[in-house]
Amino acid sequence: MASEREVFGLSGPLHLNNIDWNNSHHRRSVAASLVEGVYILERDRQEKREASQPLAPPWWDFFHFKLVRKLVDDADFAIFGAIYEYKPPSSHFNDAIVSIDRSPRYVIAFRGTITKPDSFTRDFELDVHVIRNGLHQTSRFEIGMQAVRNMVATVGDKNVWLAGHSLGAAMVMLAGKTMAKMGNFLEAFLFNPPFLSAPIERIKDKKVKHGLRIAGSVITAGLALAAKGKNPRSRSEDPFAALSAWTPSLFVNPADHICSEYVGYFEHRKKMEEIGAGAIERLATQHSLGGLFMSVVGKGADVAEPLHLLPCANLTVNQSPSNDFKQAHGLHQWWRPDLNLKCNVYKFK
């Protein structure tokens, strides 16, 4: 039996019956709904209701999108992503020309982990790859990455949005960074993206928290200098410099320990500038302690850049109370009309 959360008419953003693509709340809500559509596509498959009573179509039909293609994992044949094409009625299209709105032409969306027997084993395997910083080596990511490459090559980066939740947000982060390094800067919506780090953000004492972050920056910057001495790298080869023109939209909840470190990650940079330690932080923020340690001991070539290393972001923090971790990490929160949001744009200097 379907749950209420799967039914668009009961849980979807029905209040958005007239989309204003220049409205950030509308863009966020539509992107989150399209990701939810991928979740429901896979649940429709598992429940064998694809042909008879599918619940997924309203999650994109309501916003005038068409499902172009399902992205299927080659290991368990589960649906992990989808490509949508925006197909507004002619009247909407004419209005868009006049207003020069920010509507997408295509959206590529990726779901997160589903805790159902038919997909959990593979999803959990991918979660472990994220923890081990090896998502780029998986066949699922390569299938998704190829879909992104093909779409950008066909219609251009200005016509493609990326959207993902949790594990799917990790896919978007990696795909977006890969394309940005090639000069293609895609609009991206990352809901509850994983940030693998010590849970400093959960410390209540602000002085202790700030002190730990300063110590971490000093140690990281020192190791970065040591690594640079062993493996000199020109500015043109610096991945952080290549990524500085890409500003993805991140949506995090401070009660969700999976993504909450992004709050401190960006705020700490600003505080370091304020105390005159900007140079240290500019160096430290481009590296991770784990990667630098491996580089110093001679294994740097084998270490991939951590997912969370990001120069710029449009960060939205949901400050509304959450009853539990499940609600804080959930996707449904991001289309609620009554959210208490704090938004900041961070640019790497």
Give the tens place of pLDDT for each residue, 295-340.
555 554 445 678 888 989 999 999 999 999 999 999 999 999 999 9
Sign of CA dihedral 305, 311, 313, 316: positive
What secondary structure letter does DSSP report for 158? G
Whether 324 is in a domain gets the answer no
Whether 43 is in a domain gets the answer yes
Q: What are phi and psi of 68, to 5 degrees?
A: -90, -40
Whether 317 is in a domain gets the answer no
- pLDDT, tens digit (0-9, with 9 covering 90-100), for 132-191: 889 999 999 999 999 999 999 999 999 999 999 999 999 999 999 999 999 999 999 999
Q: In total, how many domains does the chain have?
A: 1
Whether pTM > 0.75 for this model: the answer is: yes
Whether 281 is in a domain gets the answer no
Closest CA to 212 of 201, 196, 225: 201
188's torsion region: left (phi>0), alpha (psi -120 to 50) or beta? beta
Whether 122 is in a domain gets the answer yes
Whether 223 is in a domain gets the answer no
Structural domain range at position 13: 4-191
Whether 250 is in a domain gets the answer no
Whether 300 is in a domain gets the answer no
Residue 244 has pLDDT above 60, yes or no: yes
